[in-house]
Structures are given as C-alpha cells and as structure tokens.
Amino acid sequence: MQKTVAYLGPQGTFTEAALLRFELGDITGLPVASPSHALAAVRAGQADLAVVAIENSVDGAVTATFDALVEGGPTQRVQVYQEVHLDVAFAIMTRPGADLARVRTLATHPVAYQQIRGWVEEHLPGTEFIAAPSNAAAAEMVAAGRADCAAAPERAAQLNGLQVHARGVADNAHAQTRFILVGPPGVPTPRTGNDTTSVVFTLPNEPGSLVGALQEFAHRGVDMKRIESRPTRREFGAYRFYADLVGHIDDAPVAEALRALWLRAEELVFVGSWPSASELGTAPRDLGRLRAADDWLARVRDGHCA
C-alpha cells in the first residue's frame, strides 16, 4: 500500500535523501515548508509518516523539530519509529557561467551555514548570508536570481540547472545529521538490544525536582544520551525537558524509571522507542539480575526465607 511521507522540501534537500534511506517501499513524497508542517500533516491525516531532522553533530538540536513534536497537545500526539544518520557535505552552486569570485550573496539553511562558515570566510570573504527555509530552497533562490550562490546538496543543482563550483564542502569532515521517521501513535518498534527511548516531561517548579527525576534513571542504571530544555511557551521560566535514554521501553529498567518519572512529572509524553543508528552510551542494567531480584521478592511474599 502506497504511503504519503511529508518532508522538508522542495526536492533536493538532505531530508529527502534521508527519506529514501528509510526504505519505506512505495511512497509519495509530500514536500512541506518546515518540520512543524511535516508533523502537522501527519496529525491532520494528510501524510502517513514524516521525516524530519532532529539533531546535527555540529550545531546540536534542531529546535523547530523539538517544539513540533509536542504541538497539538494530548489529542494530537505523534511517535518516532526509526532513525538514520546522514553524512552532510555541501555543493557550492551558481547560475551557469557565473564567476564565483564575484558573488556577493550566499543562500542556505541557517543550520547548514554553521557547518560551512569557515569555508565561506576563507573562499568567499565578505559574502552576505541569506537564510533560506531549506538548502534546496536556497538553490531555487539562485535559479530565480534572488541570490548569487547557494550551499545545498548536489542534487539541488541538477534539479535547478545550476553550475557546481565546489563539492564536499564542510568545516567538519565527519558532520552528520540525525533524521527521525514519525507517525501517529502506535505500538513501538520492536526491541533490538540497541535502542533509544525518548520522552518529554515537565516538572513541578520546586527545589530538587529535576535532580529527583534524573535520579530515577541513575538508580536503575539507565544511561541518558541527551537532555535538552525548551520553553513551554505558556509562562516565563517554565520548561519542558527532552530526554533520550539508552534502551527500549520493553527493558525493565527503562520501564521502571519511566513509571517513577510519571509519578513525579506534571506531564510525561512518550515520544517513542526505536533502533539506534549508532551505539552510544551504556546498555541498561543486566536484565537477568533484575529477574533474580523479582524472584527473591516473590519468594519473600510467599513466606519463604530468602
């Protein structure tokens, strides 16, 4: 059955390249203007799935995606099912016949600009940066004469009839972006033993609330890959915490920690459990040891010495 997948467009973006890496079979791509629009398409039933960037190894979290994951409230949740990591390098492109030494403006996405800023300062000094909604949109701006050159995937040059002057441009040769596959809430992707679980939570505004919440993971040996805070936008000084954990919700330590966090939190949103694209952190505490502890407790409850 054909699926519609929303992604940051137009054609030629890194997000489109990531979409193809998920191997979803027969799909129709739905290019949209932002990660928020991509997830809104899923919530509205206009798309079955969405692919969005969530983190870059150079510039950190993609905050627009973080905010979009919890838009719409409890009745419009979405869930992450897979992830891929994509190597990121750019091509520098102009209209055919343009002299790169004479360009005055360069268009690209703001996150992309942070990944090539050193190269631009060295090779295109004095160039004015123009923010584009996506890298492929930057190529379209060049084709339309609204910018002199663009930094974008090479496919964007092919799609827009542009001339490529440099390839593989990146200040960090190992730069990667993490993309996630998002859909309506459902049964989590099956446990693989190398998984990520993500949650978003808010806590009472009282001393020690965050420390207490984090101790629920530490006490159970659950490693935390990342924690970020973002304003709730409801009142000044109120924040949501976004946490990525090593392990799956079917791992007993993770499940127990989340149960304990639920008791502490004002709000706890399950974002998903899915296979990790890389091995980071420490696996949850040995499950055999936990089963032995359960057996001991059961014997005590049954009146047997243990």
- Active-site residue among 13, 94, 177, 197? 177
Give the other-Cβ count within 10 Å of 103's Cβ.
20
The greatest distance separating any two alpha carbons of the chain, rounded to the nearest whole angstrom, comes to 87
Residue labelled with tokens 């949209």 = 32
Question: What is the b/e burial string over 10-47, where b = at least 16 CB atoms within 10 angstroms of the residue's CB?
Answer: bebbbbbbbbeebebeebebbbbebbbbbbbbbbeeeb
- Active-site residue among 14, 66, 90, 179? 179
Active site residue 177: yes
Would strands 224-231 and 239-246 be described as parallel, antiparallel, or unpaired?
A: antiparallel
Q: How many residues does the chain have?
A: 306
Among 74, 84, 67, which Cα is nearest to 23's? Answer: 84
Catalytically active residues are: 177, 179
